[in-house]
């Protein structure tokens, strides 16, 4: 009877720890990701998914992907070739929504305690980029080091470590998609030509970059809302 009580108490304590970490996640992601050098390194995971989104839409529309680059300042590029204006539009607009939707999907797996799926998905995407797309020095270094880090968690982490790591990793993708789109609004308000995807969309459609930047913020906020609903009932 004492053993059963002890196990129940431990399980309850673990659940409470998970809840506390979930409550603090937005602030944890914001603070850790702003640590010099370390923060930029960690935030590249969002860049990886973002640029993979551009590559995905290029391939989906029968285009070509020549190269993906990941940089230490957490910027990135995806060099693609498309066959139509519609394809070019999808490739240009796809990065931010793909990143937000991907993060939401990872949180869904976390909500049903499928941490392994999250970890192996990240490893597979990193391996595919390493094998076929990324060739710049920092990008190769980052992919190899991240693959090693995730594999260490997979094979040596206990349940709580895997929970915290997958929650944090997914949180980086989800909230960085929001934070970076807000940064894009600020950039577009000052100099639209420096507004990346939003400026590309302005060139294709004639609609100001500011509109697209606000659209990216709206979709990122919506996916944050959907993610919150996975864990909390209103």
The answer to whether residue 54 sits within a structural domain is yes
Single out the residue of 179, 132, 130 nearest to residue 150, CA to CA: 130
Does some domain include residue 73?
yes
> Are the C-beta atoms of residues 77 and 91 closer than 8 Å to each other?
no
Q: What's the number of domains the chain is made of? A: 1
Q: How far apart are CA 69 and CA 200, in angstroms?
A: 18
Q: What is the predicted pLDDT for the residue at 22?
A: 64
List 75's β-bridge partners, or say none.
Answer: none
183 found inside a domain: yes
Q: Is residue 146 part of a domain?
A: yes
CA dist 113 to 24, 65, 214, 231, 234, Å? 19, 34, 34, 12, 21
Residue 223: count of CB within 10 angstroms of its CB: 23
Of the candidates 174, 217, 219, 171, the one whose C-alpha atom is nearest the C-alpha of residue 195 is 217
Give the range of the structural domain holding residue 203, as residue numbers without chain letter.
Answer: 26-231
Task: Give residue 18's pLDDT.
Answer: 61
**Residue 14: predicted pLDDT:** 46
pTM of the full structure: 0.86
pLDDT, block means (10 residues), the chain with 234 residues: 44 52 66 74 91 94 92 90 89 94 94 92 96 93 96 91 87 89 92 89 92 96 92 66
| 144 assigned to some structural domain | yes
Q: Quick one: pLDDT at residue 73? A: 87
What is the model's pLDDT at position 84?
Answer: 86
DSSP codes joined into one string, the chain = -HHHHHHHHHHHHHHHHHHHHHHHHHHHHHHHTTSTTHHHHHHHHHHHHHHHHHHHHHHHTT-EEEEEEE-TTS-EEEEEE-SSHHHHHHHHHHHHHHHHHHHHHHHHHHHTT-HHHHHHHHHHHHHHHHHHTB-SHHHHHHHHHHHHHHHHHHHH--HHHHHHHHHHHHHHHHHHHHHHHHHHHHHHHH-GGG-HHHHHHHHHH-S-HHHHHHHHHHHHHHHHHHHHHHH---
Residue 10 lies in a domain: no
Q: Are 100 and 223 in contact (CB under 8 A)?
A: yes
- 4 assigned to some structural domain: no
């Amino acid at each position: 009877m004492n053993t059963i009580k002890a196990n129940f108490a431990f399980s309850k304590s673990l659940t409470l720890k998970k809840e506390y970490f979930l409550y603090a996640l937005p602030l944890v992601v914001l603070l850790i990701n702003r640590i010099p050098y370390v923060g930029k390194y960690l935030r590249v995971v969002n860049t990886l998914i973002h640029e993979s989104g551009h590559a995905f839409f290029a391939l989906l529309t029968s285009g070509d992907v020549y190269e993906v680059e990941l940089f230490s300042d957490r910027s990135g590029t995806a060099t693609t070739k498309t066959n139509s204006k519609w394809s070019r539009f999808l490739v240009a607009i796809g990065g931010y929504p793909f990143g937000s939707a991907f993060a939401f999907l990872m949180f869904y797996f976390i909500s049903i305690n499928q941490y392994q799926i999250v970890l192996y998905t990240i490893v597979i995407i990193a391996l595919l980029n390493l094998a076929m797309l990324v060739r710049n020095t920092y990008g190769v270094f980052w992919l190899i080091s991240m693959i090693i880090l995730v594999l260490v968690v997979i094979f040596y982490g206990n349940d709580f470590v895997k929970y915290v790591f997958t929650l944090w990793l997914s949180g980086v993708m989800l909230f960085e998609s929001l934070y970076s789109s807000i940064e894009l609004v600020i950039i577009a308000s000052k100099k639209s030509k420096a507004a990346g995807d939003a400026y590309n969309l302005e060139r294709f459609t004639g609609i100001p970059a500011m509109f697209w930047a606000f659209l990216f913020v709206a979709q990122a906020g919506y996916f944050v809302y959907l993610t919150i609903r996975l864990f909390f009932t209103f």
